[in-house]
Amino acid sequence: MELRQLRYFKAIADARSFLRAAEQLHVAQPALSRSMAKLEEELGCPLFVRHSGGVSLTDPGARFYDHTHSLLGQVRGVMDDMAAEDPELRGVVSLGAPQVLHSKLVASVSIEFLAQHRRCELDLVQDSGARLREKLDQGVIDVAIITDPASDRLHSRKLVRESVCIICKPQDRGQFPAVATVRDLEGIPLVLAGYPGSLRLLIEKRFPHERDHLLVRSEVNSSALLVDLVIHGAGYGVAPCSAIGLLPRETLAYVPIEELDVHWAVATTFERRKMRAVKVLEDLLVAKLEELVNNDDWPTASLV
């Protein structure tokens, strides 16, 4: 029995799907299936029941899951304990964030982390906030930058607040006031960030009487795609200001929307927060955010 098999087994059990687990682990599904078949053969009992919706644990599988969870926790503790005695960071730490933050924050933090800690590996995961919270809970990733991280299992540290903005071509900026309202979105074709539905749900929650007046043409989960659609005239983007990332300021304009903002926080599980690499990465994120905000390189953002 290999440690890798235990990690694979737990990922499948948490995801309740070989396919979803393979995607989260970045492993080919046939390789995952072969590994589990070998594990079941070694244990002499089936661990999963396959059905149309995915998989469920058998009774022996449920008992084995409890042992696996405990064993992997002990292994992580041993690794952290060994790393604490080493003056250099070693091992692997994983960071997840929505695509909207990658060019503005994640790329620069990753470059600096890898340059400072050459014996440490950094894995980057791009996904929606809901999926990132799920991956934190399942232990698939160590750290994530998300909104609304409230959870009994997660420790969170607030980072920054930024405005949701109208993203438009510079020549269209003049048709909006300095600070727009949701009413200014009425009647114009909109491209919303955060598919499926996250920004639309935020608008509907805060402005329920306006939702029927919005002309939403597209929802996307990629800020790069939103920017391309706006540049090519498909509509006006509605996204956090960080969506324009490191684009030259003359490429696109932004208009803050009154009473519409997002708060970003760095989150991890209480167990993973004990890792030295996680603490170093968290501090580096905070330092980079302070630098961006203080240098006015992140428009509409303020530290919280």
Name all domains of the chain by residue range, CATH numbers in brackets: 3-84 (1.10.10.10), 91-157+266-298 (3.40.190.10), 161-263 (3.40.190.10)
pLDDT in the model for residue 228: 93
Query: How buried is 66 (Cβ within 10 angstroms: 0-12 exposed, 13-18 middle, 19+ buried)?
Result: exposed
Q: Which helix (H) or strand (E) holds 13?
A: helix 3-15
Residue 152: pLDDT over 80? no
Residue 145's pLDDT band, with cuts at 50, 70 and 90, is: very high
Residue 82: pLDDT over 60? no
Residue 112's pLDDT band, with cuts at 50, 70 and 90, is: very high
Residue 227: pLDDT over 80? yes
Residue 86's pLDDT band, with cuts at 50, 70 and 90, is: low
Helix spans in 85-116 (H): 107-116
Bond into 60 cis (ω within 30): no
- Which one, of 198, 159, 190, 304, lies nearest residue 255 by Cα? 190
Give residue-wise pLDDT tens across range 260-276. Answer: 998 999 998 887 777 88
Residue 181's pLDDT band, with cuts at 50, 70 and 90, is: very high
- Which one, of 170, 176, 162, lies nearest residue 249 by Cα? 170
pTM of the full predicted structure?
0.69
